[in-house]
């Protein structure tokens, strides 16, 4: 099972849209709970939902 299939299954289960990296915001939230360095290092994209920021881990790797 590919990472894409897993991501699609989670998105369907959580009833949330699956976002591409290009859809992610350019800037981090004004007051992140994690430092920008950690967000970049761990490839985490903050996604705003209501009044909280939910970190979503995104990883893309080349499949051979």
Residue indicated by tokens 């995104």: 58
Distance CA 51, CA 56 (A): 16
Distance CA 44, CA 59 (A): 9
Instruction: Please answer whether residues 20 and 4 qualify as being in contact, where contact means their C-beta atoms are separated by less than 8 angstroms.
Output: no
Asked whether the whole model's pTM tops 0.95, one would answer: no
Return per-residue pLDDT of the chain as tens, 64 residues. Answer: 888 888 888 888 888 888 777 777 777 666 656 777 877 777 776 665 544 445 555 555 555 4
């Amino acid at each position: 099972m590919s990472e894409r299939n897993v991501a699609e299954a989670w998105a369907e289960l959580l009833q949330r849209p699956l976002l591409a990296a290009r859809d992610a915001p350019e800037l981090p939230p004004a007051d992140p709970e994690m430092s920008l360095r950690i967000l970049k290092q761990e490839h985490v994209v903050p996604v705003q939902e209501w009044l909280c920021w939910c970190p979503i881990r995104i990883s893309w790797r080349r499949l051979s």
